[in-house]
Amino acid sequence: MFDCIRTPQGYVCILRVVVLPVNDLCARATYFSRLPEMVGMHRLKTDFAGRKVRDGFGLNFVCGHLRAFRTMDVPTLQLFHPLSKGAVRTNQYMSLQVMANLFFDGIQITLSTATLVALARNPGKKRLLRMAVIAVMFALLVDSAITILVFVVKLHVTLSTNHHHLTVEGLTGLKIVGDLMRKTVLFICDIIVVWRAWIMYPESCKVRILLVVCTLGCLGGLAVHSVFIDGPDRIYRPSVAALVPVCTLLTNIVATALVSRRLWTYRRNISRVLRAGKGASKIDMVLTLLVESSAVYCIAWVCMAHLNSYIAWLLRCTQGPLAFVVFMNGKDKNAVTVYSIIGTSYPYLAGIYITFVILALERLKNSEVSIDLSALVSHDLRCTSPRSVDSESPGAHEQTGLLAAPSIRSRPDVDCSCDVEYGCESPWGEEHVVY
């Protein structure tokens, strides 16, 4: 090995014979083969004063690299290379995905904190609801941390050429944990959606059986989709990739239809009777909020499934953003679209949606207008006024309660035989508010 030493008289080259292992020789030979390219690159550069670099700089540069080459620690040698166009796009995709996840996670944490504060201010048995909000917030926070960690490791692997294959294989465990966190969030959101339709039909066995079947279908779809594909490309089949959106979409459609039917029944049979009171408008606001938010959620899932199928066809791969993995493992990794970035953040949107609905309903509950729905649990409208129309007194409305209306029996357009079931005990711990 030659060592170049600079002396006042010039440069002196000393030949040294060093016995190195084969691996060290290969690594040093790889490094030494790149010196001519680096020397040529530096000769074309100029110094800070704008003057041309003297020819002696090339020799100084080579001598410096030879000294570094001689003292190099080969086991920790990191060789970096210029990135290809595909690698640059992959890094862009990963960085944008991390930023999108952190943005949505920040919104979800803010809403969760506000929801927990609102729940703490209201008395009642709401332990399960608090646990659900905390579980969603914790799962998304863990998923964000895993996404950042995987991004850092992937970035190091992309920039380095001598990484060990165990570094990539070690990410499998992190990906499984992140996928489990995302599936947990989706299942909790589906449970809450099903439960708010469940409490509106306390005596309908058919409706409850339908809701149980939908819940089991969601759980089965998430479980099957969570199976790790240990193939060469680790690609989901189209039928497996469609389990999550199809099961979740069907469950939300069924729950939305049931809540919409209850809202329609309420407006047809009860709203006209209670239209003089402010409590009726509050019930209408609660049911309308549930229907509208569920409809928007279903539309978002429809758009999600449609765009996923379009991108899968466009990229000619079977795995799309709905696979809910950290990185796309399809055949074309260079395609970076807005949807492919937001699509993997959809569990965050589901958590934001369900937390926002809970917070909005808590705000409605704390509004100035209040109504006691316990009178609507097991009483018919025809039984609310025991007095006859002829015996009406000025204080009749105050003595018979909220639903007392002596003029009900004289109105043929009102169906007084409607049995109201809205005020059943809710999962939020109190009977006088429908959630």
With a pLDDT cut of 70, the percent of the chain lying above it is 45
Q: How far is CA 433 from CA 34, 100, 225, 428, in A?
A: 74, 36, 37, 9
pLDDT confidence bin for 48, thresholds 50/70/90: very low
With a pLDDT cut of 90, the percent of the chain lying above it is 2
Where do the structural domains in the chain lie, given as residue ranges? 2-76, 85-368
Q: How far is CA 140 from CA 171, 176, 183, 335, in A?
A: 18, 14, 10, 26
**Mean pLDDT (whole number) for 242-251:** 80
CA distance 245 to 190: 12
**Residue 219, H or E segment:** helix 205-225
CA distance 405 to 413: 14
As a whole number, the mean pLDDT across the chain is 63
Structure token pair of residue 402: 């909220």
- The four Cα atoms 276, 282, 288, 289 give a dihedral, to 10 degrees, of 160
CA distance 425 to 195: 12
Which tens digits make up the pLDDT trace of 281-315?
667 777 788 888 888 888 877 776 666 555 555 44
Position 338 scores a pLDDT of 58
Tell me which of 170-179, 192-201, 386-395 is least confident: 386-395
Task: Give whichever of 16-30, 343-357, 390-404 has the largest mean pLDDT.
Answer: 343-357
Of the candidates 248, 240, 184, which has an alpha carbon nearest to the alpha carbon of residue 214? Answer: 248
Tell me which of 161-170, 298-307, 418-427 is least confident: 418-427
CA distance 227 to 48: 58
CA distance 218 to 102: 27
Q: Are 271 and 284 in contact (CB under 8 A)?
A: yes
CA distance 410 to 422: 25
CA distance 63 to 1: 12
Which tens digits make up the pLDDT trace of 120-161?
887 666 788 888 889 999 999 998 888 888 888 777 766 665
User: What is the CATH architecture of 85-368?
Assistant: Up-down Bundle (1.20)
Quick check: 96 pLDDT over 60? yes
Of the candidates 300, 112, 295, which has an alpha carbon nearest to the alpha carbon of residue 193? Answer: 295
pLDDT confidence bin for 221, thresholds 50/70/90: confident
Name residues whose C-beta falls within 8 Å of residue 54's C-beta, 6 or more positions apart in sequence: none
Tell me which of 35-44, 141-150, 208-217 is least confident: 35-44
pLDDT confidence bin for 277, thresholds 50/70/90: low
Q: Are 279 and 369 in contact (CB under 8 A)?
A: yes
Quick check: 249 pLDDT over 50? yes
**Mean pLDDT (whole number) for 13-26:** 43
- Greater confidence (27 vs 244) lies with 244
Place of tokens 């949107």: 349
Quick check: 343 pLDDT over 80? no
pTM above 0.85, yes or no: no
Position 138 scores a pLDDT of 92
Q: How far is CA 304 from CA 294, 343, 345, in A?
A: 15, 7, 12
Quick check: 205 pLDDT over 80? yes
CB atoms within 10 A of CB 181: 21
CA distance 435 to 184: 22
Residue 419: DSSP 8-state: B
Report CA Rg, the chain.
34
Quick check: 105 pLDDT over 50? yes
Position 39 scores a pLDDT of 41
